[in-house]
């Protein structure tokens, strides 16, 4: 009997673990529903008072660890993940808050490089939600909207990081900087990735205006690390840093990528950091923009660990970058035929993605699976797609237009009108009733090209990329 019990014990443990996992998933779904019931992510209010009040009554969890704060138009998440890996190579325990997520909301809050456990996400939410309801009541009494979805997630992230606890928080801005809910934190190092035109209805219509919003994360006596910028944006950042007495370093002046060679599965780069040169770093990501993100991330960690004066250990740098992943960023998710996903969701991002794709891939036929959200500059995005994948390339391009499950997604018929207006020929454009049908059609057509000389690239929004990854089992 005892032998039978010993044989069954592992089975019982497995059953219990599966039961606990299912319970955690059900509880997480309920919490996520509560979050979604709040004002949506694209309706973030230009205010800080609501989050300040929430963290105040929670005991200021946003001050539990030093912060590396990341803003910019494109490259924020990739840069944050690179910073995280560099810190982990030094046995520093980071918490990372990024957005949006591809498949599961817990992706946004990572501990030591892994999404927070469902049970922890739920437990901390249940602990803080009564206090958020108190703030909601105060806001409503004052005639203001209740705490939004993104504000609630930000407070939750701070509470989780304080509970774990973590040694440092790598914090990605949602939109802008000055009034973004993450800006209740006082950053030790403020990082600005390349600034382009996006969210112009909220941030301003010029690069200088947008830079002014993003400069709001630069804190007194802090340290600014910026990617190379348009001169108008760079001047705004420089003046903002000087105004608060922050140190500052700019890519192309004090640091940057010195050499870059594209290769199978990524690239080999040499980076001039703030304190040393780091040669022959294998970076398993595609494109010059990812090399730029790597240089910015490295400089940010040099600034954080040694004020920009102390070199990092070369072997640890190579180890960290060799382990970097950036899901949904020109990610190869299937072979034969090749299927790539890229979350570029504005013209600036599409240009960087196209340059990286053409550098590393050379198909005879390309199937572009495209879906775009309503608040984006879809007209210009189609102009970029035509320019980069039709006018400037010898391969045949077919456009597959879809709508993701997001209520913000433009209808495929609307996308078709915009694509034709941008110069795509009618025979190049296919409209699909749903994303799954579009993906199936694109993959089927690509598979019929001889010698595997074809590729599928899904792009246009994070929601499209998330659904494609899910459909392919990722």
In sequence order, which residues have a C-beta less than 8 Å from that of residue 430 and are 6 or more positions away? 398, 399, 400, 401, 438, 441
In a domain, 173, yes or no: yes
> 239-259 burial by CB neighbour count: b if 16+ within 10 A, else e?
ebbeeeebebbbbeeebbbee
Beta strands in 134-187 (DSSP E): 168-172
Report the predicted TM-score, pTM, of the whole model to 2 decimal places: 0.90
Do residues 314 and 338 both lie within one domain?
no
pLDDT at 236: 96
pLDDT at 451: 84
Supply the CATH number for residue 175's domain: 3.40.1190.10
Pairing of strands 338-341, 365-370: unpaired
Do residues 101 and 227 both lie within one domain?
yes
User: Looking at residue 62, what DSSP letter applies?
Assistant: G
Using DSSP's 3-state secondary structure scheme, residue 415 falls into helix
pLDDT at 11: 46
Are 283 and 324 a contacting pair, CB within 8 Å?
yes
Do residues 317 and 340 both lie within one domain?
no
In a domain, 188, yes or no: yes
Do residues 142 and 260 both lie within one domain?
yes
pLDDT at 40: 82
Distance CA 176, CA 230 (A): 17
Do residues 399 and 289 both lie within one domain?
no
Provide the edge-to-edge strand list for the sheet that holds 266-272.
Answer: 256-263, 266-272, 277-283
In a domain, 99, yes or no: yes
> 331-360 burial by CB neighbour count: b if 16+ within 10 A, else e?
bebbeebbbbbbbbbbbbbbbbbbebbbeb
pLDDT at 218: 97
Distance CA 300, CA 172 (A): 14
pLDDT at 199: 60
Do residues 116 and 195 both lie within one domain?
yes
Q: Looking at 263, 290, 322, which one is the last position of a domain?
A: 322
Q: Looking at 322, 339, 360, which one is the last position of a domain?
A: 322
Distance CA 62, CA 167 (A): 12
The tokens for 168 are 């440092």
In a domain, 10, yes or no: no
In a domain, 117, yes or no: yes
Do residues 118 and 180 both lie within one domain?
yes
Total domains in the chain come to 2
Pairing of strands 331-334, 338-341: antiparallel
Q: Domain of residue 126: give its range.
A: 30-322
**Blockwise average pLDDT, block size 10, the chain, 474 residues:** 55 50 81 92 78 98 98 94 98 96 95 96 97 97 95 98 97 92 97 81 79 95 96 96 97 97 92 98 96 98 97 98 94 93 92 92 94 94 96 89 94 97 96 95 94 93 95 89
Supply the CATH number for residue 358's domain: 3.90.190.20
Nearest to 463 by CA among 369, 333, 368, 334: 369
Are 153 and 35 a contacting pair, CB within 8 Å?
yes
The tokens for 109 are 């809050």
Q: Looking at 266, 296, 322, which one is the last position of a domain?
A: 322
Do residues 189 and 207 both lie within one domain?
yes
Do residues 187 and 230 both lie within one domain?
yes
Do residues 283 and 407 both lie within one domain?
no
In a domain, 14, yes or no: no
Do residues 342 and 276 both lie within one domain?
no
Count other C-beta atoms under 10 Å from residue 261's C-beta: 10
- Strand-pair partners of 459: 370
In a domain, 190, yes or no: yes
In a domain, 3, yes or no: no
Do residues 313 and 348 both lie within one domain?
no
């Amino acid at each position: 009997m005892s032998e039978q019990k010993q044989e069954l014990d592992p089975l019982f443990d497995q059953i219990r673990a599966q039961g606990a996992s299912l319970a955690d998933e059900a509880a997480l779904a309920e919490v996520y529903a509560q979050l979604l019931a709040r004002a949506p992510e694209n309706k973030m209010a230009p205010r800080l008072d609501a989050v300040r009040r929430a963290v105040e009554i929670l005991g200021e969890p946003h001050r539990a660890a030093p912060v590396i704060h990341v803003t910019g138009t494109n490259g924020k998440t990739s840069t944050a993940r690179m910073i995280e890996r560099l810190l982990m190579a030094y046995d520093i325990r980071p918490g990372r808050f990024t957005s949006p997520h591809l498949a599961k909301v817990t992706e946004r809050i990572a501990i030591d490089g892994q999404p927070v456990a469902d049970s922890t996400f739920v437990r901390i939410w249940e602990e803080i939600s009564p206090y958020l309801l108190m703030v909601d009541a105060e806001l409503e009494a004052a005639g203001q909207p209740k705490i939004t979805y993104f504000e609630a997630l930000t407070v939750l992230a701070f509470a989780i990081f304080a509970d774990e606890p973590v040694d440092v928080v790598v914090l990605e801005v949602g939109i802008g900087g000055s009034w973004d809910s993450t800006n209740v934190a006082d950053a030790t190092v403020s990082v600005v990735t390349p600034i382009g035109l996006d969210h112009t209805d909220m941030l301003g219509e010029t690069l200088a205006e947008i830079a002014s919003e993003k400069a709001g994360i630069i804190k007194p006596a802090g340290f600014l690390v910026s990617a190379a910028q348009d001169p108008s944006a760079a001047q705004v950042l420089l003046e903002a840093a000087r105004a608060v007495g922050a140190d500052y370093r700019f890519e192309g002046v004090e640091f940057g990528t010195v050499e870059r060679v594209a290769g199978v599965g990524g690239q080999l780069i040499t980076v001039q950091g703030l304190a040393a040169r780091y040669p022959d770093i294998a970076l398993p990501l595609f494109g010059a923009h990812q090399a730029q993100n790597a240089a910015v991330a490295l400089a940010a960690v040099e600034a954080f660990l040694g004020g920009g004066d102390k070199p990092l250990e070369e072997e640890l740098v190579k180890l960290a970058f060799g382990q970097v992943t950036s899901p949904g960023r020109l990610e190869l998710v299937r072979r034969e035929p090749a299927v790539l996903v890229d979350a570029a969701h504005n013209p600036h991002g599409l240009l960087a993605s196209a340059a990286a794709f053409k550098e590393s891939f050379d198909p005879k036929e390309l199937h572009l699976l495209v879906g775009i959200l309503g608040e984006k500059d879809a007209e210009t995005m189609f102009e970029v797609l035509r320019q980069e994948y039709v006018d400037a390339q010898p391969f045949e391009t077919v456009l597959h237009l879809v709508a993701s499950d997001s209520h913000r997604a433009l209808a495929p018929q609307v996308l078709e009108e915009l694509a034709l207006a941008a110069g795509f020929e009618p025979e190049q454009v296919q409209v699909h009733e749903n994303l799954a049908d579009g993906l199936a059609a694109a993959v089927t057509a690509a598979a019929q090209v001889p010698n595997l000389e074809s590729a599928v690239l899904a792009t246009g929004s994070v929601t499209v990329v998330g659904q494609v990854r899910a459909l392919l089992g990722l």
